[in-house]
């Protein structure tokens, strides 16, 4: 294959990365801690941890994990945490213990949490106390033997820690009652680990670092197997792409997307750790006014996000008055960046909003526009050491042809956890990863996404799989059949709309949405419900979602509409 995109690479960007630069994520982290021990690494709720402090505390957590009799190398440890200082401590601690991280969305319902814990075989979990009541409902049906609970302010300096935890629990009442046998507090685990010996793990590039759950191109959540080599490769690719843009030990990145999301984990946490930079963790980016107040406190040099986040900031009072003189890169992914948002971002900040593309199965970054380029609507050029082809029936199509975007590169996952059939289905016989996205490549090597091969609905960067939502709706008494599609929305890109055929005339949209709220994360709940006499089908009886999708939504049709509650972040797909 002639890699035509190389001719369009920015000056200084090399076509290949050195895969031997780091042996593992552990190796990369350790080198940064040795090089920049006193540099700030993570900041949250007014507290800053240096690289030396992160190294020490992750060592304590790793040693505590190794002291547990039923855990061993390769054991899966679930992290159910928002953006708090506890996340990087736990993440690097799990890897240093030689174990595997399983990221879990804290907003999961009991049904979703149970599936992921059982499927991954997680034997331990670190969970914010606010969500412990959900774990309580399912833990007996999982393999989880050890539970670590933490409060929001656990790593904040005293006495501010006590004030934060009191306010969250007693004033705002954000912690529902819960009971978990033999749970241990995060601070107590660190204290025990301080007295234990750590046998520092030395994983190789082929060892599994992360099970990152995604629906892929179907509705069943699967764990993408991402090795240390996959993650390191993607970090090196991102660093190579930003050639000459960043200076080691000097960068400050705003981390608003959740670290349990692969986009934020790789681009913010891992890449800027390699650079010896500071991650400013935003715990609740939905509080836009509070978010802007945090931005006023720092001269940030980079920020990542989804279209919804950037649009929200632009519409928040005070944002336009911030000092953007230090900003070097604003990277958008997770969903298509809208031209209006990109152009307004440029006008307000004086800097372009760069769009990239990837998917969980690729760690996630596959392609990106040059960081200084203006918005074009393209997802960019393939990353160094990455091949992208437009294919059909396992053959390359000519330039300018529309087909499925396929990828090969060192960042591509090893497969789906314990799902051989699904793994074989997403890879072509000659080793290409099928992305499920339809696109086209021009003569310069720039790629554009034109459609999605499957019926995935993209709500503010989160993938919603119709099969999952339809399964939940099908459990409602009186529902005969249903179909779920995505329809355009000016705030979140798309919203979920459900079409139902019912036998019970008393069934209302409110009953349907209330039932869904009990079993689905908020962004998966249909915002619009329409009843019909029948649904369009093909000759064999399969519902034709494509005939429902063009339906337009008027504002007065919206049920349970709350644009401000749109999720921020999701799979970068």
Query: Over the stretch 16-30, which tens digit does the pLDDT of each residue have?
Result: 999 999 999 999 999
- Answer with the residue of higher pLDDT: 526 or 539: 526
277 compared with 552, residue with greater pLDDT: 277
What is the pLDDT, as a whole number, of residue 334?
Answer: 79
pLDDT score of 541: 54
pLDDT of residue 546: 80
> For residue 249, is pLDDT > 50?
yes
**Burial label, 320 (beta-carbon count in 10 A; 0-12, 13-18, 19+):** middle
Q: What is the pTM of this model?
A: 0.87
End-to-end CA distance of the chain: 25
Please name the helix (run of DSSP H) or strand (run of DSSP E) that holds residue 479, with its range, or none.
strand 479-489
Reported as a pLDDT band with limits 50, 70 and 90, residue 542 is low
- What integer is the mean pLDDT of 95-113? 96
Report the C-alpha gap between 356 and 365 in whole angstroms.
7
Q: Give the distance, in angstroms, between the CA of residue 126 and the centroid of all CA atoms in the same chain.
A: 18
Phi and psi at 418, nearest 5°, equal 55, 30
Better-predicted residue by pLDDT, 333 or 330: 330
- At residue 363, the pLDDT reads 97
* In the chain, % of residues over pLDDT 70: 93
Of residues 190 and 338, more confidence is placed in 190
**Does 572 have pLDDT greater than 90?**
no
Average pLDDT over residues 563-567: 32
Q: How far is CA 438 from CA 10, 369, 401, 453, 468, in A?
A: 26, 18, 10, 6, 23
Q: Taking every pair of C-alpha atoms in the chain, what is the biggest distance, in angstroms?
A: 68
> What is the extent of the structural domain holding 558?
457-565
pLDDT at 543: 80
In a domain, 433, yes or no: no
Between residues 402 and 7, the one the model is more confident about? 7
Decide: 552 and 487 in contact? Cβ < 8 Å. Answer: yes
CA trace torsion 535, 541, 546, 549 (10° rounding): 20
Instruction: Return d(Cα 225, Cα 102) in angstroms, integer.
Output: 10
Domain assignment present for 49: no
Q: Is 497 domain-assigned?
A: yes
Instruction: Judge whether 367 and 388 are in contact, CB under 8 Å.
Output: yes
Least confident window among 114-123, 158-167, 467-476: 467-476
Structure tokens at 509: 């949209």
Helical segments of 155-283, H only: 160-166, 186-194, 228-241, 262-264, 271-274
pLDDT of residue 464: 86
Mean confidence (pLDDT) of the chain: 92
For helices 51-67 and 86-96, give the axis angle rounded to 10 degrees.
60
pLDDT of residue 303: 98
The better pLDDT of the pair 554, 444 is held by: 444
What's the pLDDT score for residue 557?
47
Residue 139 CB-half CA count within 13 A:
23
**Among the listed ranges 100-109, 212-221, 368-377, which one has the minimum average pLDDT value?**
212-221
Characterize the bridge pairing of strands 479-489 and 354-358. unpaired
Which has the higher per-residue pLDDT, 537 or 313?
313
Cα distance between residue 240 and residue 234, in whole Å: 10
Q: Is residue 511 part of a domain?
A: yes
pLDDT the model gives residue 491: 87
Q: How far is CA 539 from the centre of its chain?
A: 39
Quick one: pLDDT band at residue 565, thresholds 50, 70, 90? very low
Q: Given this model, what pLDDT does residue 551 score?
A: 47
Tell me: pLDDT of 79 over 80: yes
pLDDT at residue 246, rounded to an integer: 97
**What's the average model confidence in pLDDT over 247-270?**
96
- 418, part of any domain: no
Confidence of residue 463 (pLDDT cuts 50, 70, 90): confident
Of the listed ranges 51-65, 144-158, 280-294, 455-469, the one predicted with least confidence: 455-469
Let me know if residue 556 belongs to a domain: yes
pLDDT at 409 > cutoff 50: yes
What is the reported pLDDT for 462? 87
Least confident of 35-49, 81-95, 292-306, 443-457: 443-457
Of 30-44, 54-68, 209-223, 241-255, least confident by mean pLDDT is 209-223
Task: Output the pLDDT for position 480.
Answer: 85
Query: Poorest-confidence range of 194-198, 229-233, 309-313?
Result: 309-313
- For residue 317, tell me if it sits in a domain: no
Please say if the pLDDT value at position 81 is more than 50. yes
Is residue 551, in this structure, part of any structural domain at all?
yes
Residues 6+ apart with CB under 8 A from 430: 394
List CB contacts of 56: < 8 A, sequence separation 6 or more.
none
Asked if residue 15 lies in contact with residue 4, where contact means CB atoms within 8 angstroms, the answer is: no
Indicate which CATH number applies to the domain containing 501.
Answer: 3.30.300.30
Distance of CA 292 to the CA centre of its chain: 22
Domain count, the chain: 1
| Residue position matching structure tokens 């978990």 | 180
């Amino acid at each position: 294959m002639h890699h035509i995109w190389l001719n369009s690479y920015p000056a200084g960007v090399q076509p290949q990365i050195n895969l031997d630069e780091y042996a593992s994520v552990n190796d990369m982290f350790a080198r940064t801690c040795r090089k920049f021990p006193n540099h700030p690494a993570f900041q949250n709720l007014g507290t800053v941890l240096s690289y030396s402090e992160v190294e020490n505390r992750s060592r304590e957590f790793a040693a505590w994990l190794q002291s547990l009799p039923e855990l061993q190398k390769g054991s899966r440890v679930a992290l159910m945490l928002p953006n708090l200082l506890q996340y990087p401590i736990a993440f690097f601690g799990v890897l240093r213990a030689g174990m595997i991280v399983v990221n879990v969305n804290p907003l999961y319902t009991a049904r979703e949490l149970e599936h992921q814990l059982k499927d991954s075989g997680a034997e331990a979990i670190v969970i914010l106390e606010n969500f412990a009541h959900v774990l309580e409902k399912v833990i007996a049906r999982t393999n989880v033997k050890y539970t670590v609970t933490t409060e929001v302010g656990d790593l904040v300096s005293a006495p501010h820690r006590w004030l934060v935890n009191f306010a969250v629990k007693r004033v705002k009442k954000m912690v529902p009652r819960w009971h978990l046998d033999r749970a241990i507090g995060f601070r107590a685990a660190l204290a025990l680990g301080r007295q234990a010996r750590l046998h520092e793990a030395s994983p190789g590039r082929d060892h599994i670092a992360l099970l990152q759950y995604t629906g892929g191109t179907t509705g069943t959540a699967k764990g993408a197997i991402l090795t240390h080599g996959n993650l390191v490769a993607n970090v090196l690719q991102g660093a190579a792409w930003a050639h000459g843009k960043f200076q080691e030990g000097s960068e400050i990145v705003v981390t608003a997307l959740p670290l349990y999301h692969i986009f934020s984990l790789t681009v913010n946490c891992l890449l800027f750790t390699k650079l010896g930079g500071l991650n400013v963790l935003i715990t609740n980016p939905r509080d836009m006014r509070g978010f802007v107040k945090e931005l006023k406190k720092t001269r940030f040099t980079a920020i990542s996000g989804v279209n919804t986040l950037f649009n929200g900031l632009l519409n928040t009072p005070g944002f336009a008055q911030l000092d953007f003189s230090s900003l070097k890169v604003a990277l958008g992914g997770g969903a298509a960046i809208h031209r209006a948002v990109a152009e307004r971002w440029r006008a307000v900040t004086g800097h372009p909003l760069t769009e990239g593309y990837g998917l969980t199965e690729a760690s996630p970054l596959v392609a990106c526009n040059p960081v200084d380029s203006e918005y074009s609507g393209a997802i960019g050029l393939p990353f160094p050491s990455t091949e992208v082809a437009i294919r059909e029936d396992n053959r390359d199509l000519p330039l300018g042809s529309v087909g499925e975007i396929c990828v090969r590169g060192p960042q591509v996952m090893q497969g789906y956890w314990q799902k051989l059939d699904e793994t074989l289905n997403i890879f072509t016989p000659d080793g290409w990863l099928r992305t499920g996205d339809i696109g086209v490549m021009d003569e310069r090597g720039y790629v554009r996404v034109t459609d999605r091969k499957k019926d995935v609905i993209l709500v503010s960067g989160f993938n919603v799989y119709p099969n999952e939502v339809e399964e939940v709706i099908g459990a409602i008494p009186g529902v005969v059949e249903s179909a779920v599609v995505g329809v355009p929305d000016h705030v979140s890109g798309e919203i979920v709309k459900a079409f139902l055929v019912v036998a019970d005339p008393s069934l209302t949209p409110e009953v349907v949405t209330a039932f869904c709220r009990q079993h689905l994360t908020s962004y998966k709940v249909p915002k619009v419900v329409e009843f019909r006499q029948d649904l369009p089908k093909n000759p064999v009886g399969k519902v034709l979602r494509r005939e429902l999708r063009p339906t337009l939504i008027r504002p007065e049709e919206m049920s349970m509409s709350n644009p401000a509650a749109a999720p921020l972040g999701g799979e970068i797909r």
